[in-house]
Structure 1
Amino acid sequence: MKRFKGFITKEFYHIFRDKRSLFILFGMPIAQIMLFGFAITNEINNVDIAILDHAKDINTTEIINKISASKHFNINQYIEKESDIEAIFKKGKIKAVLNFENDFSKKLVKEHQASIQLITDATDPNTANTISNYLNAILIQYQKEINQDITLNYQIIPQTRMVFNPELKSVYMFVPGVMTIILMLVSAMMTSISITKEKELGTMEILLVSPIKPIQVIVGKVFPYIFLSIINAIIIVTLSLFIFKMPIQGSILLLGLESVLFIITALSLGILISTISETQQTAMMISLMGLMLPVILLSGFIFPISSMPLPLQLISNIIPAKWFIIIIKGIMLKGVGIQFIWKETLILIGMTVFFIVLSVKNYKIRLE
């Protein structure tokens, strides 16, 4: 046991003396959580739009002022004729045009209906659809305001309710996903080069002739990174709470325990990669290329798994990040307890045991 403690102490010294390792452990997660949190969003803000107002009456003025007051839109230009619309879209700055018909207010009073044409730049379909939805929401709200004291016959007003994220904040989607990616990639990357580094430096012979058993070497390699990755997780959650106002509806203790479990799973996978790699470069490439794309694309972080083809849905089941994202969203956003996420927890435990057993089996008793 004394030798084992000494081995773990050596690993800590080795990590803290390597500035590059410390940067990967602590610098990259902070930079990534800030970048993903602020830069990657499906919300729209300060979108430049143009107005073509044929009526120039009180109602069109009120609608324009309401849109202008919104943080989502910036009225960049007023145009005079419809032939100008194509030209301003070609310039690429204007993303939408509101075209008010003639005698807008008169038709609203006499006929109880008037038309507004919403024209969007559909070179980016998702953005165009989002802009259209936001503008329609503003128009519906304005219609409700002017209809407060007016009785209209048989109006059907659709009502939509958003649960768990009523304000549709994209940060609620991205923070759990980014936290998963950071813990997965950093943990696996750091441990994947640990044993391969021993091979390259020629210190593997010392480990092989020492009385330390293979399982002790594996655990000794993983243990320091568990401690450091937990600090990483605390930093990420703290940034999410105080900068991005991410709620934690469920138990913080359960969130912590599940995060530790996922960290151990990722570290175990990294150790497995290190046992089958001969060089640090190979281990790094496997960690980055072999894990990054599957984690991002097949974990449900960005794209819903249910929308994928059946083969990809099946493959996604072997991605640990998929199960952790389900767990973390359940705890942070839905406030669920272990009774709702026990299956995902057992899957992560099973994966961890599998990776560790396979790592011990692949660990070379003697150099070839």
Structure 2
Amino acid sequence: MRAFLEEWKLMISSKFVLKAMLTPLIVSVFFGYLYSHNQINKTSIAVIDEDNSLYSQQLINKVNASQYIDVKSILHQAVDPEMLLANEKYVAVLYLPHGLEQNRYQGKQSNIGFLVDFSVPSATGNLRSAMAEIISLENSTAPTVGKLKALGLTDDQISATISNLSLQQRSLFNPTSDNLNVIGFGYITIVSLGIIYGATLTIVPRLREEGRLADDLKQPIGLYLRVIPYTIVYMIVMILTMAALKQIGGLRFVANPLEYMLPFGLFCLISAWFGMLIGWNAKNPLSAAGRAQQLISPAFLLTGVISPIILFPEPIQIMSNMIPATWYFKFFRGMGLRGGSLTYYWEELGVFLLMLAVIFSLLGLLIMKELKKRNQTQMEETLEANEPILLIDTKK
């Protein structure tokens, strides 16, 4: 009983009760807001309208009126659908062939293509069913239906006789919805990312604790280069991991390996410097290493590994775009799953270079601040050492 009372008093006097009450509440509010939309509405698609007729425009308007579809672009010339899907600006491409309106009123069948990006399968469920419903409704209101009814055919006979519009759906890039290509690869990448964070977070606190930080600050480039060994090891480990997943687990990876190394190398370097930046002001290496979880959790929740980013509220999507792993997974889906060329991704490369420049500059500011602080401390110590000592004559 004495031990119980002792622990009870210790618990009451500490911050345990406050943390125990606030942590679940804060997490509940965050997840409630994160998944407040419940489903994906207004998924962006592009339309290739080669017919460019009154009926094709009417059909596009009906598609755009669906609560699940948002027609972002309409093109009237042949375009490679895979190029449109490369940068994830669109989730699907709808193809309306030449002669659509003419076939409609002549009772001839037209094949409508619907190519869906399956690199994020959970983002396409409502999209496909909505498109199927629209085409089904169009077939039920075809002009030739009235003629068939006049001939005495029943609704079932008419449905079996006519299908004016035929929707040809294709699931691209991950047609079997293999979770290894999405969740599996994402989980392995982020867990491995925790290892490099654990190392780079502790660099500056370790040097400070060992009394060696002042020497490194005299040559700042050396401090920047301290992350390179961890970056190289992380790159080698991830390359071997992808090779093992491809050979054993059937991971889809169709990118040009040499082209893929550029964004992958930038991602590794950004992650290493970002870890150093976050751990800079930690009191000791142990305290710095504890911050790794604060970097891993957002990377796992907000980068599209568990849920598609378009499911989140807009402020969360903006926050997601500030995480380096979000852009790396875009590269993996674009080049690794879709087989896109590096030339499709100059915008994403620009984001990586901007992140690199910002983190490099912030580290530079911290180095200058640390140098200024140390110089000021040394100056104060010098002044104290040179301060004249006032001697008191005791004979008087």
TM-score range, shorter chain: 0.5 to 0.7
Q: Does 1:162 align with 2:167?
A: no
Task: State the partner residue of 2:222.
Answer: 216
Q: Does 1:258 align with 2:263?
A: yes
Q: Does 1:173 align with 2:182?
A: yes
Secondary structure of 1:299's counterpart equals coil
Structure 1 CA distance for aligned equivalents of residues 214 and 172 of structure 2: 58
Question: Is contact 1:268-1:356 (8 Å) kept?
Answer: yes
Q: Which runs of 5+ in 2 are unaligned?
A: 1-121, 126-155, 378-396
Q: Does 1:352 align with 2:321?
A: no
Alignment RMSD, CA only?
A: 2.6
Compared CA separation, residues 159 and 207, structure 1 to 2 (3 A): closer
Task: State the partner residue of 2:388.
Answer: none
Which amino acid in structure 2 is aligned with residue 169 of structure 1?
A: D
Matched ranges for 1:19-34 at <5 A: none
Q: Which runs of 5+ in 1 are unaligned?
A: 1-125, 130-151
Task: State the partner residue of 2:203.
Answer: 194
Structure 2 CA distance for aligned equivalents of residues 330 and 201 of structure 1: 44
Task: State the partner residue of 1:227.
Answer: 232
Secondary structure of 1:275's counterpart equals coil
Task: State the partner residue of 2:304.
Answer: 300
Compared CA separation, residues 164 and 300, structure 1 to 2 (3 A): same
Question: Is contact 2:327-2:348 (8 Å) kept?
Answer: yes
Deviation at 1:300, TM superposition (A): 1.1
Which amino acid in structure 2 is aligned with residue 178 of structure 1?
A: Y
Question: Is contact 1:188-1:268 (8 Å) kept?
Answer: no
Compared CA separation, residues 175 and 346, structure 1 to 2 (3 A): farther
Deviation at 1:201, TM superposition (A): 2.7
Which amino acid in structure 1 is aligned with residue 179 of structure 2?
A: S
Range moving further from structure 2, 302-311 or 168-177 = 168-177
Greater relative contact order (CA < 8 Å, ≥ 6 in sequence): 1
Question: Is contact 1:184-1:321 (8 Å) kept?
Answer: no
Larger radius of gyration: 2
Residue 326 of structure 2, aligned match among 303, 322, 327: 322
Q: Number of residues paired by the alignment? A: 215
Structure 1 CA distance for aligned equivalents of residues 184 and 244 of structure 2: 10
Secondary structure of 1:166's counterpart equals coil
Residue 276 of structure 1, aligned match among 273, 281, 286: 281
Deviation at 1:183, TM superposition (A): 4.7
Structure 2 CA distance for aligned equivalents of residues 268 and 183 of structure 1: 16
Compared CA separation, residues 173 and 234, structure 1 to 2 (3 A): same
Partner deviation per Cα, 1:77-107 (whole Å, 9 max, x = no partner): xxxxxxxxxxxxxxxxxxxxxxxxxxxxxxx
Task: State the partner residue of 2:241.
Answer: 236
Question: Is contact 1:176-1:329 (8 Å) kept?
Answer: no
Over the matched positions of the two proteins, sequence identity in percent amounts to: 24
Structure 2 CA distance for aligned equivalents of residues 308 and 246 of structure 1: 27
Task: State the partner residue of 1:334.
Answer: 338
Structure 2 CA distance for aligned equivalents of residues 237 and 256 of structure 1: 13
Structure 1 CA distance for aligned equivalents of residues 170 and 212 of structure 2: 61
Deviation at 1:160, TM superposition (A): 4.6
Structure 2 CA distance for aligned equivalents of residues 224 and 169 of structure 1: 34
Secondary structure of 1:161's counterpart equals strand
Deviation at 1:335, TM superposition (A): 0.2
Question: Is contact 2:189-2:238 (8 Å) kept?
Answer: no
Deviation at 1:207, TM superposition (A): 3.4
Residue 343 of structure 1, aligned match among 344, 347, 358: 347
Structure 2 CA distance for aligned equivalents of residues 166 and 262 of structure 1: 28
Secondary structure of 2:255's counterpart equals coil
Secondary structure of 1:295's counterpart equals helix
Compared CA separation, residues 285 and 203, structure 1 to 2 (3 A): same
Deviation at 1:360, TM superposition (A): 2.0
Partner deviation per Cα, 1:150-195 (whole Å, 9 max, x = no partner): xx94347986532111222111112441354145322222111111
Which amino acid in structure 2 is aligned with residue 256 of structure 1?
A: M
Task: State the partner residue of 1:204.
Answer: 213
